[in-house]
Amino acid sequence: MKRLVVFSLLVSLFACARNPVTGERELVLISESQEIAMGADSDPQILAEFGRVPNEPLQSYLGSTGGKLAAVSHRPELEWHFTVVDSPVVNAFAVPGGYIYFTRGILAYFNTEAEMAGVMGHEIAHVTARHSVRQLSRVQLAQLGLAAGSILSPTFGQFGGAAETALGLLFLRHSRDAERESDRIGVEYVARAGYDPREVSRFFEVLLRLSEAGDRQTLPGWLSTHPDPGERVETTRALAEEWIQQLNLSPDGMTVNRDAHFRNLEGLIFGDNPREGFIEGGRFYHPDLQFQLVFPADWPVENTRAAVYALDPGQQAEMQLRLAAAPEGATARQYVQRLAAEGMSPQSGEYRTINGNPAFVGVYALRAQGGTIPVLAAFIEFQGRLYEILGASSDLGRYGSAIERSIMSFDRLTDSRILNVQPDRLTIYTARQNDTLEALAERIDNPRVDAADLAVLNRLAPDASIPPGVLVKLVEPGY
């Protein structure tokens, strides 16, 4: 009963909070200072996961645009932070407390500064309307309710953990209603900041084209929770006209900034950065770290900033390559001894040399649900770093040989062509008489970007003549 009283008091205490955007009272169990602290704690983790694009003029450009919108938002007093992160995926996201992130992938597809402002307004709206905070509060409230339910019903209490997990999955993604609200608020911010709000719908047209093309490598998973791009085009177009009339905006007085935006994109990396690893001819190369490795044939490979993963097509075995969690200069022997001291001793193994690099290769038993899974592990010393390669399968007898061959293929990269590889980059071209995207694509001859891709980047038909003097985004091949 005491817990139920405390539960009721907490709900009564926090239910009086007002939403900064709507002014309505709502249940919020997280204070503004806690919200800001959450963002500050998350920021270094996000930058460690994605990396910050080392282009200060571009970072300043994003920050300047964001600052204009934040100033007319419902929470201008927040200390806002705007960062371009190093990912080719078309995405933008926000965390509580005023932290906004744009991928370099999404920047490439904006055709004007006003379009960029449209997405910026949407992400700022998630913060000003406290969408994440509201959802986290619901999770906390549900957990309090589960605790109370456990007191009242021993049967319900038995399922408390599972229910909490399900609620977490349910609430920690923005609902479609929240996304629609952010679209609505975002258009308002764009208009109040002096940008042309009609540009907002034009970027959603790009999302629609990418979605229709089924480009899952480019589009992120958040499209599954956002409203349909076609719906957003119509909705934001109507909202733009409403705000133009309400604020009595003159078409000549609204900011678009196409050419200036294009100039800010000059040299931006487009697509995956091969300097951070790529597959060619069935072999994985990492030019920056100067190593190469052959994963088992026909295993799809995913390269992330934290690790490289390879998965058996039948999903019966997986490999993972990453830097070991060891001090710089640590040896394989020291690392094996440290693991043993922590209770992780190999079932079998030996110290050996892999292509001239000191290493340890052994079998460990990894605790998993319902028992253990055997893991063939290798710790390889290479250029002052210790690399960890793990191959896990419940049927190591079947997959062990393929995993071991892959481990033994780890070697120094010496091919100068691979070592000097560079990423594809955006270049800004001034159109000449009779230029078309088809002709320009043929001239550049980039095997990864054709005329259809350039058409989406520039909102032009591949075979249409481009008026002389118009700026066009092209993608120069790096390799």
Higher pLDDT, 58 or 371: 58
96 with 156: CB under 8 angstroms? Answer: no
Higher pLDDT, 39 or 431: 431
Place of tokens 């419940």: 394
Higher pLDDT, 15 or 342: 342
400 with 376: CB under 8 angstroms? Answer: yes
Looking at domain 279-419, its CATH superfamily turns out to be Mog1/PsbP, alpha/beta/alpha sandwich (3.40.1000.10)
- The mean pLDDT value for 26-36 works out to 70
**Among 184, 141, 110, 71, which residue's Cα sits nearest to residue 456?**
110
Q: Which of 150-154, 250-254, 279-283, 467-471 has the highest mean pLDDT?
A: 467-471
Residue 4 confidence (pLDDT) above 70: no
Enter the pTM of the model.
Answer: 0.81
Residue 169 confidence (pLDDT) above 60: no
CA distance to 171, 173, 222, 230, 231, per residue, from 176 (Å): 12, 9, 11, 14, 12
Which pLDDT band, with edges at 50, 70 and 90, does 28 fall under? low
Q: Domain boundaries in the chain?
A: 2-264, 279-419, 432-476
pLDDT value at residue 295: 96
* 153-157, 191-195, 246-250: range with lowest mean pLDDT: 153-157
- The mean pLDDT value for 253-271 works out to 97
What share of the chain has pLDDT > 70, as a percent? Answer: 80
- Note the pLDDT tens digit of each residue in 348-398: 999 999 999 999 999 999 887 778 899 999 999 999 999 999 999 999 999
Instruction: Give the chain's mean pLDDT.
Output: 84
Phi, psi (degrees; rounded to nearest 5) at 408: -75, -10
Rounded distance between C-alpha atoms, residue 401 and residue 396, angstroms:
8
Is residue 240 classed as helix, strand or coil in its secondary structure? Answer: helix
